[in-house]
Chain A
Amino acid sequence: MEFGPHLLLATLEGAIGAAVLALMAVGLSIVFGIMRVVNVAHGEFYMLGAVIAWWITSLIGGHPAYGFVVALIVAPLLVGAIAALADHLVLRRIDYDPERTIVATIGLLYVLQQLTLMTFGADARPVEAPFNKRIALPWFENGADGFAMYWPWGLSTTTYKLAVIAAAVVVLIGLWLLMTRTRAGLIMRATQLNRDMALAHGIPVEKVYALVFGLGAAIAALAAVLIVPIQQAHYLMGGDPLLLSFIVVIIGGLGSIPGTIVAAILIGMSDGIISVFFSPTLAKILATLLVAFVLIFRPQGLFGKRES
């Protein structure tokens, strides 16, 4: 494939990766920002979202869109509820102690993963996209007969892939509005700024924590429902996105939503483009290297604020 069309295809693939990664990482980021909990089980909430989406769509017959829409609503709610329950049963009891929560969420990771393996099984299972039409994309060339449009071989995307990008943007805008324009967002930000002061002002901090933990997991699950018609549900699918999310959150600045989104676009796009032109392994190497440099030269992340 020629360079121009190749780059366009790489950019599109990168954009899908970036969209899903942004959702996933924002979930991780708000949990860390508000609760100071490094949630190692975040990838498993993502996986649960996909598995529940498969379960719901296989229960509901008829046009694939019916099942998908139900999954889009129910899977995040269910996963959010599971996460809130985990917060209530586990994290609250260890007082949100930073070190102990890491160990606890590692435990949670294994519990969720193995329970899925025992019930859902080890197979990858497909979910049918609600709509999926191939769109051939044109390219422009300044040839002998002047500027002409042509349709390069293989340069295409699907309507569903474009919809995933659009949906991710809508969810991210919605989340930003929630955090900055609503009372719930105000309460969350207050809790983030100073837990004790918030408590003194009558904010039920423990309830806020449970909700935030649930919200973070629900966003991951939503990302999974969006991606599952492209990728299939599998009990080990949470591993790679978790690693990338950590990279994104560290680069963007722990707890900073705009930083996380910018970093997700940076990592997602570069992952897509570098893997197309070079190799997927090189893309991972460069992302990890970037994290190392950020940690050395700007430990608070690109958008993070240095703690005073």
Chain B
Amino acid sequence: MTDIKDSLFQPNRRRALKTLAVGAGTVAAAGMLPGLPGYNQAHSAEPIRIGFQVHRTGIGAAYGRWYDRTTEACVAKINAEGGINGRPIEIVAEDDGTDPKRGAEVVEKFASQHKCDVSFGTLFSHVVYGSAPRAGELKMPYFVVSEGHHVASGKLNRYTLQPGITDVKSQVQAMAPFISENLGKKVTMIYPDFAFGHDHRDYFSAAFEAQGGTILEKIAIPPTETSFTKYFPKIPRETEVIYHVMVGPAVLTFVKEMGEFFGPSRPEIFGFIDSLEAVDMTSPGLEFLDGTYFWEGMPRYAQEDQSEFDKAYREAVGVDENGASVSDSKDVSTFAHMFGCWETLHIIKAGMEAADYQGAADRSKLIEAVEAMSDMPHSHAHPQGAKVFNGKTHQTFGHQYISKVEGGKLVLAHTTSIEDTLYEDEVDYTTQSF
């Protein structure tokens, strides 16, 4: 994969595009193009422009950096394989500052200024909430990689889809039986106080109570908080399991202070890896996590039965077997989430090819083509695992992973089935008009 990425192919395309821009007309430029494989016809060699809404700054920056790298690697792969319908992908990245207001402006820019075909890539759920209505108004397909339940809940619109990553509701529903059977029946939840955390609060407590468990306390923490000890005394003494999920720049402090609070007498702990995403598991102060469990969207550490798809994907993005950058072992990736960018781009490609997408006028055809998708087998396009896409709710469903911390590494302990994650449809977007 790295070879493909570094081959002469990519620079050639760039050079060709530059020439296109400098050259007086398409016809003149076309004369120089025939040497390039894949893009033989002058008119169709125009790139597909994908607006990439990326959290370069603000509280989502660590995710943004890795979403960026994954996207770059994926685009290099798809372009090397001939692009979409023979047209190369061009990524137009814009920082949204992890800010909902800026998010809507970025979508606006993609549509009016950059003339993008589709927009893609948002992670933080409050930014999705801020941007999706504008995408709908602009009739701009908006492929989010966010995990929020907002898409499948029916609160958004026909132009917003989440085909490349599963949502919190399905994830927590699949975790509830594992926790109640293996860890305990009395849970205290700690979660960030915004849309994503509220999804955890609402859907996990419902799923867990359905398993016969009780939620003793729900502790909400603002995502910009920097000091956490003051929240922990609210944990009731009879708690058997701590369920934690945290985001933002201070996640390491959160987990460390939790360890300091409990000392030698910790309850069972089940966390979402979000609490330590982009954080080195061997950081000082995290030793107490040994023996605790984490949900992972995709296992950060290469497992014994690593698939060839996982291997190729790591290589392409530049991630080692510990989930860190190959060039800097301290630069830990957001491995449990970023595969969503890779898979979503492949779905955009498949959708555009199925719809014979030519330009902005075909956007509704693209949406319909994606809505028609269903089974997505485990493959190079879907390295996280097989998925089933629900065209009515615009949400994908897939396997979830539960890992145990052993000697500072995450070792896969349980993989849920896709059926464990399914729930009844709450919306049918296909009945909405374009």
Contact = CB atoms under 8 A, between A and B. Distances in A.
A126 to B, nearest CB: 6
Contacts of B87: none
Contacts of B284: 128, 132
A230 B253 contact: yes
Contact of B233 (A1, A132, A240): A1
A9 B253 CA distance: 17
A134 B222 contact: no
Given A122-B58, A156-B263, A280-B222, A13 B252 contact: no
Interface string B261-288: 1110100000000000010000111000
B56 A122 contact: yes
Nearest to A14: B230
B237 A136 contact: no
A45 B241 CA distance: 41
Contact of A276 (B62, B233, B261): B233
B260 interface: yes
A272 B233 CA distance: 13
A277 to B, nearest CB: 9
B237 A153 contact: yes
A234 B231 CA distance: 22
B249 A123 contact: yes
B380 to A, nearest CB: 30
Interface string B43-62: 00000000000001110011
A302 interface: no
A194 interface: no
B194 interface: no
Nearest to B62: A123
A6 interface: yes
B265 to A, nearest CB: 6
Interface residues of B, number: 33
A182 interface: no
Contacts of A236: 58, 249
A171 B260 CA distance: 27
Interface in B265-318: 265, 278, 283-285
Contacts of A173: none
Interface in A224-266: 230-232, 234, 236-237, 240
A156 B250 contact: no
A272 B260 contact: no
A124 B249 contact: yes
B227 A230 contact: yes
Given A122-B61, A156-B260, A158-B260, A232 B235 contact: no
Given A134-B263, A230-B253, A232-B250, A121 B226 contact: no
Contact of A124 (B65, B235, B237, B250): B250
A276 B253 contact: no
B229 interface: yes
A280 B232 CA distance: 13
Nearest to B239: A153
Contacts of B252: 124, 126, 232
A6 B61 contact: no
A275 interface: yes
The number of chain A residues touching the other chain, given as a range, is 20 to 34
Contacts of B225: 280
A10 interface: yes
Contacts of A158: 260
Contacts of B229: 9, 13
Contacts of A156: 260-261, 263
Interface string A95-124: 000000000000000000000010001111
Contacts of A121: 61
A17 interface: yes
A154 interface: yes
B226 A231 contact: yes
A276 B57 CA distance: 30
A113 B50 CA distance: 30
Contacts of A126: 252, 283
Contacts of A6: 233
Contact of A136 (B57, B263, B278): B263
B233 A123 contact: no
Contacts of B265: 153
A276 B230 contact: yes
A155 to B, nearest CB: 8
A135 to B, nearest CB: 9
A97 to B, nearest CB: 33
Contacts of B227: 13, 16-17, 230-231
A10 B233 CA distance: 9
Contacts of B283: 126
Contacts of B260: 134, 156, 158
B253 to A, nearest CB: 6
Contact of A275 (B58, B62, B230): B230
A307 to B, nearest CB: 37
Nearest to B226: A231
A237 B226 contact: yes
Contacts of A230: 227, 253
A212 B227 CA distance: 31
Interface of A: 1, 5-6, 9-10, 13, 16-17, 117, 121-124, 126, 128, 132, 134, 136, 153-154, 156, 158, 230-232, 234, 236-237, 240, 272, 275-276, 280-281
The 8 A-B pairs at the shortest CB distance, nearest first, are namely A122-B61, A124-B249, A1-B233, A276-B230, A234-B249, A6-B233, A122-B57, A13-B230
Given A122-B61, A275-B230, A280-B225, 13 more contacts: A121-B61, A128-B284, A134-B260, A136-B263, A153-B237, A154-B261, A230-B253, A231-B226, A232-B249, A232-B252, A234-B250, A280-B222, A281-B222
20 contacts: A1-B234, A1-B235, A9-B233, A121-B61, A122-B58, A123-B249, A124-B62, A124-B252, A132-B284, A132-B285, A153-B237, A153-B265, A154-B263, A156-B260, A158-B260, A232-B252, A234-B249, A276-B230, A276-B233, A280-B222
